[in-house]
Homo-oligomer: A and B are copies of this chain.
Amino acid sequence: MEAVARLDACTTTEPDEARVAATRDRLVTPEEAARLAELFRLLGDPTRAQLLYALLEAGELCVCDLTETVDVSDTAVSHALRLLRTAGIVASRRSGRMIYYRLADAHVRMLLDLSREHLRHG
């Protein structure tokens, strides 16, 4: 494993383009950053966050139960769930009239869990 260099010099007083370029190569690409930002953006709304943490606890919930956990209309919940489903953050299954939502994968669960721990005793 390579030690991380600290870039001390600003390009104007001392170009140091080489180090900046070297760092840039090991960086996430702008495209990766955009995809990561998109993931975080979807978690970064109070309503969606509440829905996700409800699913983290309950495992699986239908829309009408999810609506109980937040303070917006069922329509708003549906819109929120569509965004999360399209992004692959949650998955759904129909059973009769109801549609049950769950977190899509273990990575999402880890992310939510780590963040919650961070907030509670970080």
Complex CA gap A33/B72 in Å reads: 15
Q: Are A105 and B122 in contact (CB under 8 A)?
A: yes
Q: Is the interface of A mostly helix, strand, loop or mixed?
A: helix
Q: Are B38 and A44 in contact (CB under 8 A)?
A: yes
Complex CA gap A23/B49 in Å reads: 16
How many residues of A are counted as interface, with CB atoms below 8 angstroms from the partner's CB atoms?
A: 60
Centre residue among A20, A26, A36 by max chain B CB count within 10 A: A36
List, sorted by A's number, 28 A–B pairs whose CB atoms are closer than 8 Å: A5-B58, A5-B59, A6-B60, A7-B62, A7-B65, A8-B62, A20-B68, A23-B54, A23-B57, A23-B58, A27-B50, A28-B53, A28-B116, A30-B70, A30-B71, A32-B119, A33-B53, A36-B49, A36-B119, A37-B44, A39-B44, A40-B49, A40-B115, A41-B41, A41-B45, A42-B44, A107-B122, A111-B111
